[in-house]
């Protein structure tokens, strides 16, 4: 019986030294074979080791193998196919995730732009209000003055200031409602 057949028989019985001997004999060839497909040294090293892990895990079935080299290359071929399937799935999901992030950023950007556009429209609407209402509303919202402070500064009654602010807010609510009706 030649040495390789002896190693295979001993390996099928769980002999680690036989496994080591076969590993040393075949590992360089398997690594080169795998590298020819994956074109990456680290991946080739990992996948070649995976091939030998499968050999060890299936060692009890080796007694039925006619050619250990052929068996090992078949395992390696299957590992390469699995690698490319996983890589393809990973790239597909990575691309989908990237697209989702781009879409999310786009939505956020649209929300910001929509908010900015709405703000511009509101300022335009405020600028078209009667001058006194415009001044009172801007003092209330932009300068954050209370109704009483505005009434004192403009020499108006507090009730007049409240009425102007109330009317300005009513116009804005109606405007926003009309925009929502168009969107929905």
pLDDT (tens digit per residue) in 101-131: 656 655 654 565 566 676 777 788 888 889 9
Answer whether 146's CB lies under 8 Å from 85's CB: no
Return d(Cα 44, Cα 38) in angstroms, integer: 7
Q: What DSSP state is assigned to residue 102?
A: H
Q: Which of 120, 106, 31, 43 is nearest to 76 (CA)?
A: 31
**Of the listed ranges 33-42, 88-97, 143-152, 159-168, the one predicted with least confidence:** 88-97
- Whole-model pTM? 0.50
Return d(Cα 96, Cα 44) in angstroms, integer: 27
Return d(Cα 61, Cα 84) in angstroms, integer: 27
* Per-residue pLDDT band at 27 (split at 50, 70, 90): very high
Mean pLDDT of 156-179: 84
SS3 95: helix
Domains of the chain, each with CATH number or no CATH: 3-93 (1.10.1740.10), 95-183 (1.10.10.10)
pLDDT exceeding 90 applies to what percent of the chain?
36
Tokens at 110, concatenated: 């649209």
Tokens at 115, concatenated: 């908010």
Return d(Cα 69, Cα 26) in angstroms, integer: 8
């Amino acid at each position: 019986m030649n040495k390789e057949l002896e190693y295979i028989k001993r390996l099928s019985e769980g002999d680690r030294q036989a496994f080591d001997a076969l590993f040393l004999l075949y590992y360089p060839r398997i690594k080169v074979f795998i590298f020819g497909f994956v074109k990456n040294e680290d991946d080739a090293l990992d996948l070649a080791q995976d091939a030998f892990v499968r050999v060890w895990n299936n060692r009890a079935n080796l007694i039925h193998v006619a050619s250990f080299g052929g068996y090992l290359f078949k395992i390696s071929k299957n590992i390469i196919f699995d690698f490319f399937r996983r890589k393809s799935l990973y790239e597909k999901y990575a691309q989908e995730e990237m697209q989702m992030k781009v879409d999310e950023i786009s939505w956020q950007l649209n929300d910001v732009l929509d908010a900015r556009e709405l703000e511009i429209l509101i300022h335009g609407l405020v600028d078209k209000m009667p001058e006194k209402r415009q001044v009172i509303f801007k003092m209330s919202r932009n300068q954050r003055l209370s109704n009483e402070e505005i009434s004192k500064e403009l020499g108006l009654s507090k009730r007049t200031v409240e009425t102007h602010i109330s009317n300005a807010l009513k116009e804005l609510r109606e405007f926003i409602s009309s925009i929502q009706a168009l969107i929905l």
